[in-house]
């Protein structure tokens, strides 16, 4: 069964540094998402992306965050200047259509020191 793959599985970064989290969505999917889960809390929506542009974003997704689909397969989340509170699991998801369930990757654990 096709999978969403995320790299790296664990990223350790100094506070204030930029970080890029990478995702390869399922190949024929058109809708892409980033979520995060802070330890002990809910999975929270960050952003959705369709047709090469952001379609919706949460209040968490401020100017420090950006997303990009640089080629036909990758979908990235960039945090420009990381803060301690950015430490979390970041999940990428993709969906084939508007009425299709989202399929998640196994996440990247981001640790900010």
Partner 1 sequence: DQQVKQNSPSLSVQEGRISILNCDYTNSMFDYFLWYKKYPAEGPTFLISISSIKDKNEDGRFTVFLNKSAKHLSLHIVPSQPGDSAVYFCAARTSGGYQKVTFGIGTKLQVIP
* Residue selected from 11, 13, 45, 96 as contacting partner 1 according to rule CB under 8 A: 45
- Both tokens assigned to 28: 């024929």
CB of 27 to partner 1, least distance (A): 17
**Other CB atoms within 10 Å distance of the CB of residue 81:** 12
End-to-end CA distance of the chain: 37
10 close to 74: Cβ distance less than 8 angstroms: no
Which range binds partner 1 by CB under 8 A, 13-21, 63-71, 72-80, 105-113?
Answer: 105-113
Residue 48 binds partner 1, judged by CB under 8 A? yes
Shortest reach from residue 35's CB to partner 1, in Å? 8
């Amino acid at each position: 069964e096709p999978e969403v793959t995320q790299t790296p599985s664990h990223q350790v970064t100094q506070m204030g540094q930029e970080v890029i989290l990478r995702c390869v969505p399922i190949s024929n999917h058109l809708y892409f998402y980033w979520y995060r889960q802070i330890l002990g809390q809910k999975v929270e929506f960050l952003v959705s992306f369709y047709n090469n542009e952001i379609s919706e974003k949460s209040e968490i997704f401020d100017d420090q965050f950006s997303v990009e689909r640089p080629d036909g397969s990758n979908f990235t989340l960039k945090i420009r200047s990381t803060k301690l509170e950015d430490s979390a699991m970041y999940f990428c998801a993709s969906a084939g259509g508007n009425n299709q369930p989202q399929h998640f990757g196994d996440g990247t654990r981001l640790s900010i020191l």
